[in-house]
Structure 1
Amino acid sequence: MSFPKEFLWGAATSAFQYEGAYLEDGKGWTVADERCKAKRDIQADSSVASDGYHHLEQDVSLMKELGLKSYRFSISWARIYPDGEGTINSEGVAYYKKLIDLLVENHIEPVVTLLHFDIPWALVEKYEGFVSRRCIDLYDNYCRTCFKLFGNKVNYWLTINEQNVMVMMHDMLGLKKDDPQLSKKLVQCDYNMYLASAKAIITCHKMYPNAHIGPCVSYPTFYPETCHPDDVALAYDIQDMMAFAPMETYVYGTINPMVMNKWIKEDTVPNILEEDDSILKEGTADYLGVNWYCTQTVSATSRNGSFNIGIDVDIKKNPYLEYGQWNWSYDPRALKMALKECYVRFKKPIMICENGWSELEELCDGKVHDIKRVQYLHDHIEQMQKALDEGVNLIGYQHWSFVDILSSSQGFDKRYGLIFVDRDNFNIKECQRIKKDSFYYYRNVIENNGL
């Protein structure tokens, strides 16, 4: 089976990793900016990033040259509402309107993420962010504004990027590590973000019934190190809790009973109101956005049957796999397995929203020969086609990333782009765009619809 004619071949970025201009034209400070600022002495921050804010026309021209059918990007909440609430920032609106207009004019489908790790910092200072239910309503108001401003030209929306990762990392939510109530606050944020996502979906369906909207979930695949029952059970439990339990809430509007049992045992049950059940059930996803990169191999080191994730888990290197510079495995066959398992469980269309290979890279005679990324693309696209052959409803592929972008953990050392951005951590230069070998390979893939 070939890829469908309407398949959304795309590439992706996120606002804080790509735009820069972090306090320009009225934009407010965000949690992502705060996290980057804390690492400013050792790597690049979000102040310039890939300077996408000032390379808008050039980058869309490159997208057209690449042949993209879609482009996944995020709107920065703080560029629309600098304080997360209050007065709309007209200059921020103008930037995203220009971007979306350029995409549509060039027949590139916008795929818009409404929140990608960058909660407005003012909401953290005022309400502790999503610890407070007030943030649910403010997020709904922000989403309503985006739908009103851009909904006539956007058919695909994503509510929250990798909520399942955010709730494992206190600083992504603006919370303090030494807070004695941290565990309970993390759970409350998790629950409140489910409600926020559901309310955004309800609002979108009312305003634009033909639009498609869903979450974006981090979806790693876990292997047991051995066939020891403890290892097998651990791998199953981690994947179930980390990926499938969140998907269940997004798709069915229910909290997984294993998750609720965990909250009860740990005395972290969030504040739940009577009307929440109907909100979750009404605000269910039209499709699933999944971010899938690699597999992880785990071992229950204690062998005591107690799987306290994050404490008793050992991440092991799989001797049958190749690893990159940041110890991420190269395992394309697992992508087909992951897509099949996700589709069989939830029967929802799937869009791969992130998938890519990172390298330390530099220019060589004005070029970047990223042979490994070309191989990665080839092998993973081949597995996508096999998943389609076996019945998976896969609607799009957003390669991570379009250009080299800021990594919040490794700055500009860790490069994923199809296009090289000529800067490093501390020498910004002019952020010149240089097409890598993978750009030309992916262009050929798109021209031939994956064949």
Structure 2
Amino acid sequence: MAETGLDAYRFSISWSRLIPDGRGRVNPKGLEYYNNLINELINRGIKPHVTLMHLDTPQALEEEYGGFINARIIEDFTAYDNVCFREFGDRVLNWTTINEANVFVLGGYDNGVSPPGRCSNPFGLYCTKGDSTTEPYLAAHNILLAHASAVSLYKEKYQTTFPNIPWALEGLLEYFKDVYNNPPIYIYENGQVTEHRTTVYDLSRVEYLQTHIGGVLDAVRNGSNTKGYFVWSFVDLFEVLYGYKYSFGLYYVDFHDPKRTTYAKLSQRWYSAFLNGKNVTVNDEGNQPRKRSTILGTTLDSDDRLSSY
């Protein structure tokens, strides 16, 4: 993929590989597989786009209550989504709930040509179970409700309360320029908060820093007297109100290690390359210095009139 030049890859997670019984116990081998896949994609400069289900309703749930023709699937699908958002959401920023829902309904419950292969004559081929006059409508209804439940879960529990809106920072700097006679400004704290996890593949922080620094540089180009920018924070640290629960740092700190060993995150590599005027990719390992810094579609010029710390 990297040799081909892909900068994004869409793949599906197998519900049964992650949760073999459809609910309850999470398979650690499945979890390891997808963590390795996601981490390697990011390490190669490829952004993961994840689809949560692609025709493969767990067989255990098909046998127990009929899968998507039963409203019980909504709760189980949402619980599965919760596992995915919790385990992979710090690195996966783009999610699709159900792949080609219309094809899933028609193929699975009307003509029976795709899983779970339910249909009735004369609508389907080789029909042994199902009812093509009712089940497509039941499945479509429950798919829509399952999708809505997953979206609601993500927005309420996993989507940050403070969205990434870099234009707000740029607008504030423009406001100070226009209203307060353009005073010199140093931005002393700007960064993204996430749960403190063991992963160093903090792609969301890379996007945050890139877009916010880009907004600051746009303001500078438009005449803002912004003199400097300090990222918050250099390393993961102790927060007065929350202790070690949250992470801000460019470096991961292992707080369980008495030596407090630190590890560079993806964001540190991006920020270092940006400050050194290099062409930035998420797997940058010594690119030749250049005057532009790009990642995820945005261009930043590192020689703009701005000091970064």
Provide the TM-score with structure 1 as the length reference: 0.32
Which structure has the bigger radius of gyration? 2
Provide the TM-score with structure 2 as the length reference: 0.46
